[in-house]
Amino acid sequence: MRNYEDKIYSLAETIPGQTQAMSQAVQKTLENNGGVGIMTGYYDQNLSILSVSNLLLHSTGYTYDTFMEQTKGSLRNFFYDEEDILERDRFLQLHGTGEAQILTADGTVNNVRLCKEDATDEAGRQIWVMSVQVNWDHVNLALLNEAIYSGFWYFDCDENSEIVNANWSHEFRKMLGYHDTLDFPNKLESWSDLLHPQDKERVMAQLQAAIADKTNQIKYQVEYRLRMKNNQYQWFRASAEVIRRLDGSASRIAGIFINIDGEKKEIMQAQKSAAFHRAFTKADLCEYYVNLEANTFDTFKVEPSLMTVFEQSYTWDELIRHFVDSYVVETDKKAVSSFYDRGYIAEKLKGLETELSLECRITLNGEERWVRNVIIRGEIEDSEYAMIFLRDITDAKVESARHLQMAADNASMEQLIQSIVRLVDRFVVCDLENDRYEFYNLNGQIIYKPLGFYHDFQRQVLEKYRHWNHWKLWI
């Protein structure tokens, strides 16, 4: 076993000799302050251990003999549940800092910090050199993160508050389905590239605002969707605090993020049910919820005569295609297909529009019916989800037509009445035998004398209306 010593610098002209008491004191401070132990080994299939420091043995409760007996001289038996990183070819590629779990002498699983580099032995063979830090504060943090299903992370910033380094904890990577720095490097883009497109701009803006705010009034507390290793999105809540220099510039921002996918989905389900409850009407032939991005649907109510298309469809696109082909009348098929295009809906619901509707005719149980297709945005500021209603409006159409006809009839009657009123504003009663007339004026200006000779009245009218040649009574 080889010994590893730390070089000591002194202000004195000569470096004082290190007494046994000093050595014991140094050793004790290291042991009680998360000391770092060292081990080395070969890149063979067993990752055979070449050497191990006394500090590492002490931190993990082993003697050299019990350590070698427990591990059988292989690094694989010192680590716990880390088969992925201990595969030889993968382990060969790992360098720098990381985290893992080890087994102490009493069988306890502990989280440790690691740093690994490569070197060669005296014979020129390639070996791995690894420092292992057993720190109970880190262990406690790991336990807390596991208890609340969270992951720790931090970013280092330069004097201009620009992020220059990102560090993702072991728990963080595991929560997303990743293993180590090979598949999830310590880079900002490892995380930011996984943000949902609808969340990314908002989340990054909030992060930059929190870092830039020298007063620490702006906090980084956000909820967002992140793409997992299996390409499925899940919801997370992130919170962080900023460590600042004396001039207020950010030195480091550190935080945790918690998986809230289950909680979020329960809330969304409650929102769905509440929305359908508010919008429920007996005229709805079907009610269902659509994930436009995933091309899936969840039904809440389906008219029995429409059930076949729902049972035969695995995606929403299939459902719409079957619905259009089987029920929509020929002249309306194109319009309905365009209306239910997922890209069109998502684009429309991104804006101010929260509801889209289209009326069409379908053939249901051998009878042509009018229906209204209604699409409502599922959640506020989220165009990924939509609620779909198909409402029978045939009776409403008939009633509306009846009211329109009634209004038209009333309008015609009003016109007739107005014509009659205009017709009898003025009239004349003539006595042709005695050459007399009487003029009656009900409304407007008096244009003829009330009484007079008929031949005088006739002359006045002829002068006023020369194109009238034959009449007996002017009304």
Q: What is the pLDDT of residue 406?
A: 72
Which helix or strand (DSSP H or E) is residue 163 part of?
A: strand 163-168
Quick: pLDDT tens for 386-395: 889 898 888 8
Token pair listed for 199: 């969340």
Q: What is the pLDDT of residue 135?
A: 62
User: What is the rounded CA–CA span in Å between residue 456 and residue 436?
Assistant: 9
- What is the DSSP pairing of strand 284-291 with strand 250-259? unpaired
- Those residues whose C-beta lies under 8 Å from the C-beta of residue 175, and which sit 6 or more positions away, are 149, 150, 151, 259
As a whole number of Å, the CA-based R_g of the chain is 43
Instruction: Judge whether residue 1 has pLDDT over 60.
Output: no
Averaged pLDDT, 42-69: 86
Q: Does domain 282-398 fall into CATH 3.30.450.20? A: yes
Query: 249: buried, middle or exposed (CB in 10 Å: 19+, 13-18, 0-12)?
Result: middle
HEC string of 363-397?
EECCEEEEEEEEEEEEECCEEEEEEEEEEECHHHH
Averaged pLDDT, 57-73: 87
Q: Which of 126-130, 245-249, 413-417 has the lowest mean pLDDT?
A: 413-417
Q: What is the pLDDT of residue 281?
A: 59
User: What is each CA distance from 202 to 165, 199, 210, 332, 346, in whole angstroms?
Assistant: 21, 6, 12, 40, 18
Determine contact, residues 169/99, Cβ cutoff 8 Å: yes
- What is the DSSP pairing of strand 284-291 with strand 296-302? antiparallel
Query: 311: buried, middle or exposed (CB in 10 Å: 19+, 13-18, 0-12)?
Result: exposed
Token pair listed for 201: 């701009």
Q: What is the pLDDT of residue 426?
A: 63
Averaged pLDDT, 149-171: 86
Q: What is the pLDDT of residue 472?
A: 43
Quick: pLDDT tens for 100-146: 778 888 887 777 778 888 888 888 888 888 888 776 555 555 555 56
User: What is each CA distance from 338 to 111, 357, 389, in whole angstroms?
Assistant: 55, 12, 17
Q: Does domain 149-263 fall into CATH 3.40.1790.10? A: no
Quick: pLDDT tens for 420-446: 545 455 667 777 778 887 766 655 556
Select the more confidently predicted residue: 237 or 405.
237
User: What is the rounded CA–CA span in Å between residue 26 and residue 4?
Assistant: 13
pLDDT band at 465 (very low <50, low <70, confident <90, very high): low
Q: Provide the greatest CA pair distance for the chain.
A: 157
User: What is the rounded CA–CA span in Å between residue 56 and residue 36?
Assistant: 7
Determine contact, residues 230/253, Cβ cutoff 8 Å: no
Q: What is the pLDDT of residue 260?
A: 86
Domain boundaries, the chain: 33-135, 149-263, 282-398, 425-474
Q: What is the pLDDT of residue 145?
A: 57
Q: What is the pLDDT of residue 321?
A: 94
User: What is the rounded CA–CA span in Å between residue 240 and residue 13?
Assistant: 47
Quick one: which of 211, 214, 166 has its CA closest to 190? 166
List residues bridging with 254 in a β-sheet.
154, 241
- Those residues whose C-beta lies under 8 Å from the C-beta of residue 295, and which sit 6 or more positions away, are 315, 316, 317, 342
- Those residues whose C-beta lies under 8 Å from the C-beta of residue 314, and which sit 6 or more positions away, are none
- Check for a shared fold between 33-135 and 282-398: yes
CATH class of 33-135: alpha beta
pTM: 0.45
User: What is the rounded CA–CA span in Å between residue 277 and residue 280?
Assistant: 5
Highest mean pLDDT among 102-111, 340-349, 359-368, 448-457: 359-368
Q: What is the pLDDT of residue 444?
A: 56
Instruction: Judge whether residue 246 has pLDDT over 70.
Output: yes
Instruction: Judge whether residue 331 has pLDDT over 80.
Output: yes
pLDDT band at 14 (very low <50, low <70, confident <90, very high): very low
